[in-house]
Amino acid sequence: MRPRLWLLLAVQLTVLHGSSVLQQTPAYIKVQTNKMVMLSCEAKISLSNMRIYWLRQRQAPSSDSHHEFLALWDSAKGTIHGEEVEQEKIAVFRDASRFILNLTSVKPEDSGIYFCMIVGSPELTFGKGTQLSVVDFLPTTAQPTKKSTPKKRVCRLPRPETQKGPLCSPITLGLLVAGVLVLLVSLGVAIHLCCRRRRARLRFMKQFYK
């Protein structure tokens, strides 16, 4: 279709709120980069000889919104792509009363609101739109936090104080033992000599008093 007609459609789209005649599902979808997306538009009226158009709005609806014509489905020609559209990424096919927009290898710049539309005579009928968000990483499910168990208090006995200072070497210890032995021997000799002197004195006293 001519650019002037699409400009007219874009202006009218901003004032329409969507129709129950065309039901789009899902209302919102978030996918990861380079994945495939399938958007559905189900017609509640007979569309034997009519065309279904798919438009994309890259920003929130406003008077300055830009609507891009992506593709349409024709009963005789199949998918017809719009200008400046990557045809290998976009396809439209029919499944009974549903018209599927198939997007492959999506990128973040493909994010926006996708509308299906019917050009009637003279009215235009739009779906309520599907918002597509393409992200590099999908949010993961939060793991339940583990409760920390209180640590048991362990009573510890105080450690005995270690003796400070230099340790006795084997030589020093041997000298101490030898010194003790010498003292014991000397003491034994002194006691023996004392006993002998006492006996000698007693014998001398006995001889003197006879």
Cα angle: 54, vertex 57, 63; to 5 degrees: 125
pTM of the model: 0.57
Low-confidence residues of the chain: pLDDT under 70:
1-19, 47-49, 59-65, 121-122, 141-168, 208-210
75-95: pLDDT as tens digits: 888 889 998 888 899 999 888
DSSP letter string, 62-125: STT--EEEEEEEETTTEEEE-TT--TTTEEEEEETTEEEEEE-S--GGG-EEEEEEEE-SS-EE
